[in-house]
Amino acid sequence: KYYEVLVGDSQFHGNGALTYSWENILMPGTIVKVALRNRPALGIILRAVSKPTFTTKPIVAIVDPQPMPAASLQLFEWLLNYYPAPVGVVARLFLPPSTAASRKLPEPSESVQTRTPAAIQPLTAEQTAACNRITQPGSYLLHGITGSGKTRIYLELARRSLEVGKSVIVLTPEIGLTEHLLQSLTSLPGQTHVLHSRLTASARRDVWYQLLTAAKPVIVIGPRSALFTPLQNIGLIVMDETHDQAYKSNNAPHYRTDRVAAMLAQLHGAIFVGGSATPNVEDVYVAKAKGRPIISLTSLATQSEYMSKTTVVDLRDKSVYGRSRILSQALIAAVTTALSRHEQILLFLNRRGTANAVLCSTCGWRATCANCDLPQTYHGDSHTLRCHVCGRTKSLPTSCPDCGQANIVFKTVGTKAVLDEVRRLFPTARLRRFDTDTAKPDQMERQLEALQRGEVDIIIGTQMVTKGLDLPRLAVVGVLNADSSLIVPDFAASERTYQLISQVIGRVGRGHRDGHVVLQTYSPDHPVLRAALSRDWDDFYRRELAERRTYMFPPFCYLLKLSCARATHLSAEKNAMKLFQDLQKTYPKLRVEGPSPAFHPREGGKYKWQIIVKSPSRTALLSIVA
> Given pLDDT bands bounded at 50, 70 and 90, which one contains residue 133?
very high
Identify the H or E element spanning 72: helix 70-82
- Listing from the earlier edge strand, what are the strands of the sheet with 138-144? 192-194, 219-222, 167-171, 234-240, 271-276, 138-144, 294-297
> 470 with 441: CB under 8 angstroms?
no
Angle made by CA atoms 545, 547, 550, in degrees to the nearest 5: 110
Strand 408-413 with 355-360, pairing: antiparallel
- Dihedral sign, CA of 469, 472, 478, 483? positive
Q: What is the DSSP letter of 316?
A: T
Q: What is the DSSP letter of 466?
A: S
* pLDDT given at position 103: 59
Rounded Cα gap, residues 426 and 420, in angstroms: 10
> 11 with 53: CB under 8 angstroms?
no
- For 476-495, the pLDDT digits (tens) are 999 999 988 887 878 999 99
**Average pLDDT value for residue range 124-151:** 94
Rounded Cα gap, residues 590 and 609, in angstroms: 19
3-state SS record for 240-296: ECCCCHHHECCCCCCCEHHHHHHHHHHHHCCEEEEEECCCCHHHHHHHHHHCCCEEE
Give the C-alpha distances (Å, rounded to integers) separating 204 from 66, 89, 95, 100, 199.
18, 19, 11, 12, 6
Give the C-alpha distances (Å, rounded to integers) separating 371 from 4, 383, 397, 604.
41, 20, 18, 6
Q: Is the pLDDT of residue 436 over 60?
A: yes
- For 50-83, the pLDDT digits (tens) are 999 999 999 999 998 899 999 999 999 999 999 9
Among residues of the chain, what percentage have pLDDT more than 90?
65
* pLDDT given at position 296: 95
For residue 411, report the phi and psi dihedrals to the nearest 5 degrees.
Answer: -125, 165
**Average pLDDT value for residue range 368-384:** 82
Of the given ranges (191-205, 214-228, 252-266), which has the lowest mean pLDDT? Answer: 191-205
* pLDDT given at position 392: 83
* pLDDT given at position 310: 93
> 414 with 455: CB under 8 angstroms?
no
**Average pLDDT value for residue range 199-224:** 91
> 365 with 401: CB under 8 angstroms?
yes
**Average pLDDT value for residue range 375-389:** 84
> Given pLDDT bands bounded at 50, 70 and 90, which one contains residue 108?
very low
Q: Is the pLDDT of residue 556 over 60?
A: yes
- Listing from the earlier edge strand, what are the strands of the sheet with 558-566? 558-566, 606-615, 591-603
Among residues of the chain, what percentage have pLDDT more than 70?
96
Of the given ranges (25-29, 178-182, 237-241, 458-462), which has the lowest mean pLDDT? Answer: 178-182
> 247 with 258: CB under 8 angstroms?
yes
> Given pLDDT bands bounded at 50, 70 and 90, which one contains residue 238?
very high
> 178 with 222: CB under 8 angstroms?
yes
Identify the H or E element spanning 231: none
* pLDDT given at position 449: 80
Q: Is the pLDDT of residue 158 over 90?
A: yes
Q: What does the CA dihedral 408, 410, 416, 421 come to, rounded to 10 degrees?
A: 100
Which residues, in sequence order, are bridge partners of residue 623? none
Cα R_g (the chain), whole angstroms: 26
**Average pLDDT value for residue range 600-605:** 84
Average pLDDT value over all residues in the chain:
89
> Given pLDDT bands bounded at 50, 70 and 90, which one contains residue 269?
very high
- For 346-374, the pLDDT digits (tens) are 999 988 788 777 888 888 888 888 877 77
* pLDDT given at position 110: 35
Q: Chain centroid to CA 571: how far? A: 34
Euclidean distance between the first and final Cα of the chain, in Å? 32
For residue 356, report the phi and psi dihedrals to the nearest 5 degrees.
Answer: -95, 0
**Average pLDDT value for residue range 174-188:** 82
My answer on whether omega of the bond before 555 falls inside 30° of 0, hence cis, is: yes
Q: Is the pLDDT of residue 112 over 60?
A: no
> Given pLDDT bands bounded at 50, 70 and 90, which one contains residue 118?
low
* pLDDT given at position 113: 36
> 162 with 217: CB under 8 angstroms?
yes
Residue scoring higher pLDDT (485 or 217): 217
* pLDDT given at position 48: 95
* pLDDT given at position 101: 62
Give the C-alpha distances (Å, rounded to integers) separating 132 from 126, 129, 157, 316, 470.
10, 5, 10, 50, 25
Q: Is the pLDDT of residue 222 over 90?
A: yes
Rounded Cα gap, residues 167 and 150, in angstroms: 19
Q: Is the pLDDT of residue 111 over 50?
A: no
Max distance between CA atoms of the chain, in angstroms, equals: 82
- 296-307 as b/e: b if 16+ CB within 10 A: ebebbbbeeebe
> Given pLDDT bands bounded at 50, 70 and 90, which one contains residue 311?
very high
Which residues, in sequence order, are bridge partners of residue 32? 43, 62
- Dihedral sign, CA of 280, 283, 286, 289? negative
**Average pLDDT value for residue range 128-153:** 94
> Given pLDDT bands bounded at 50, 70 and 90, which one contains residue 147?
confident
**Average pLDDT value for residue range 388-404:** 86
Give the C-alpha distances (Å, rounded to integers) separating 255 from 67, 90, 248, 454.
25, 10, 6, 39
- For 327-345, the pLDDT digits (tens) are 999 999 999 999 999 999 9
Query: Exposed, middle or buried, 390 (CB in 10 Å: 0-12/13-18/19+)?
Result: middle
* pLDDT given at position 517: 95
Give the C-alpha distances (Å, rounded to integers) separating 279 from 156, 300, 344, 607.
22, 18, 28, 35
DSSP-derived 3-state class of residue 10: coil
- The count of other CB atoms within 10 Å of the CB of residue 40 is 13
3-state SS record for 95-124: CCCCCCCCCCCCCCCCCCCCCCCCCCCCCC
DSSP string, 376-429: PEEETTTTEEE-TTT--EEEPPSS-TTT----EEEEEE-HHHHHHHHHHH-TTS
HSE-up of residue 188 (Cα within 13 Å, Cβ side): 27
